[in-house]
Structure 1
Amino acid sequence: MARAQGARAQMALAFETTYGTPPASGFLRLPFASTTLGAEQPLQTSELLGYGRDPQAPIKDAVTADGDVVVPIDAEAFGFWLKAGFGTPMTTGAEAPYTHEFCSGNWSLPSFSIETGMPEVPRYAMYSGCMVDSLSWQVARSGLLTATANIVAQGENIGTTTAAGTLANITLNRFGHFNGAVTRNGANIGNVVSADITYANNLDRIETIRADGKIDGADPSIAALTGNVVVRFADQTLVQQAINGEACELEFSYTLASGESLTLTAHAVYLPRPRIEISGPQGVQATFDWQAASDPSVGRMCTVTLINDRETY
């Protein structure tokens, strides 16, 4: 008997025309490292008395479908996750390379369907009505560069055959931490040890009364762009900005030798005043838990620019 193995698992994604309705075709095979996406339905313990000490049968509660998907940050496939998190980009360029600009603050976010498959069981789980609640990743000196997409779905349908049809393949061209840079107001920040970035749509689930126990949708509320920057303490520039309550522009970018690039620009970043601790004879580090806000001159909180050879998203 065949047993499920993660090495044989696959993931397919397609954007929906109607919320909660998986498309009949157009699914893409997307790379992923791991996923916790799934549906669960808890049981409500019976509260009834008069039947002795042993309880009566439990009652099914509402269905919850959500989870995380860990994906590589690459030059092409990651653009679909950016579209899911930020909305349809503005694309420029008459020919390759094309520039895709994803902007924060969109009220209308696309829904999509994801199918995860384990062919050897076989088990194919189709999650419809998916929306990205948050997208986060870490900037470091070494290691594998991945992002985590937190997903809210409407529901799950299980089958023994795939409902995604023939999948279109995407060429994987990954960015690495080695390709990264962090700048403040256009100048490199020295002594950066690591950084975290989280963009959240803060989805509000529409939990109406339905016979199937599913949600009716998920509406985006006030967005948030937060994170932290850990630096070796060498000067007072960031501390002085925090004390003055001023904003700066932070830019996190990755560039490949072949020309593809990914840049997240937070246009107005505010820093808290950090505690500077001397914990031993090693170098002193300071952690700034920053928050971004809408920049009046730009008109938005952040912009993500992806340059690659793909014409449209």
Structure 2
Amino acid sequence: MARQPGARTQVAFAFESVYGTPPASGYRRMPFATTTLGSEQGLLSPELLGYGRDPQAPIRDAVNVDGDVVIPMDAENLGFWLKAIFGQPTTTGTTPRTHTFQSGGFTLPSMAIETQMPDVPRFAMYSGLVADRIQWQSQRSGLLTATVGLIGRGETVAATTAAGVLTDATLPLQRFGNFQGSITRNGAALGNIVWAQVSYANNLDRIETIRNDGLLEGLDPSMAALTGSIEARFADLTLVNQAIAGDPCELVFAWSLGANASLTFTVHAAYLPRPRIPINGPQGVQATFEWQAARATSPARMCTAVLVNTTTSY
């Protein structure tokens, strides 16, 4: 009996043309670190009386398909996940290509993802997946990864793959590192930042209609949310004064591997709360700002992600 090591697992990824219907071909091997994507079906405890103290058999509840995928922040493959979060980008240029993703879109693509465990064997195809959120952290050292939260419709498990031969399609893995990142506020470098976190959520609305298969009818995006945290060494009153005044600022999180590979994530209107500034000992004083973003006046959106690479289109 074979035991499945994580090192021999793969994730096959493809966008769907029809919601909930996995395509027959065109799957891509996607780099990932961990995944909790799966299908769950709970049991309902019976409420009936008159049969003594021992309960009757439980009843099966609805099927829920969801989970997280931890991915590397890289110059090429990240574009597929940004498309899942924001929708179809606008692509310009030749070499390099510039892919611009904008918040606020009402149309989000659905995906089919197969988790492959060939040694068991177990090939689980998840259909009707829509990206609910993405989150990442920036700091001085360590690997730069993002967590993508997915909500899906169904799961089909088989002993052989339904994705066929996977393609990597000339997409080399070019990872961004924390040391290649920068943060600016209103166009000027924001210093003394020791840790930052960004989280964008589509806040998907599950359409839970009555069906004899227990699956979701669909997923609709509701009001989006863009939040984050900035932990700063207390060196000046720039951020504190902005928080007291209640004025928004533009925050830009950027990474670059050169002219042909970069990622710029712009929060057009970030509002900072007035923070508590504790003194915890003889070390440097630090303040944490739990900011929230809103739709800006110009441009009339909450955020923009610009990915520069050599990929023709997403």
Report the TM-score, using the length of structure 2 for normalisation: 0.98
Instruction: State yes or no: 1:85 paired with 2:85.
Output: yes
- 1:257 Cα shift? 3.4
Q: Percent identity?
A: 63
Report the TM-score, using the length of structure 1 for normalisation: 0.98
- 1:142 Cα shift? 0.5
Aligned to 1:272: 273
Inter-partner Cα distance in structure 1 for 2:260 and 2:180 = 11
* Aligned positions of 1:117-266 closer than 5 A: 117-169=116-168, 170-257=171-258, 259-266=260-267
Q: Is the CA contact 1:84–1:111 (under 8 Å) kept in the aligned structure 2?
A: yes
Aligned to 2:291: 290
Inter-partner Cα distance in structure 2 for 1:300 and 1:53 = 59
Q: Is the CA contact 2:104–2:224 (under 8 Å) kept in the aligned structure 1?
A: yes
Deviations 1:202-256 (A, max 9, x none): 0000000001100011100011110010000000010000011111100000000
Inter-partner Cα distance in structure 1 for 2:305 and 2:258 = 20
- 1:258 Cα shift? 5.8
State the superposition RMSD in angstroms.
Answer: 0.8
Q: Is the CA contact 2:260–2:310 (under 8 Å) kept in the aligned structure 1?
A: no
Secondary structure in structure 2 of the residue aligned to 1:229: strand
2:15 alignment partner AA: F
2:100 alignment partner AA: E
Secondary structure in structure 1 of the residue aligned to 2:296: coil
Secondary structure in structure 2 of the residue aligned to 1:168: coil
Aligned to 1:8: 8
Q: Is the CA contact 1:246–1:270 (under 8 Å) kept in the aligned structure 2?
A: yes
Inter-partner Cα distance in structure 2 for 1:297 and 1:61 = 47
Q: Is the CA contact 1:184–1:248 (under 8 Å) kept in the aligned structure 2?
A: yes
Structure 1 window deviating more from structure 2 (45-54 vs 75-84): it is: 45-54
Secondary structure in structure 2 of the residue aligned to 1:19: coil
Aligned to 2:111: 112
Aligned pair count reads 312
Secondary structure in structure 1 of the residue aligned to 2:229: strand
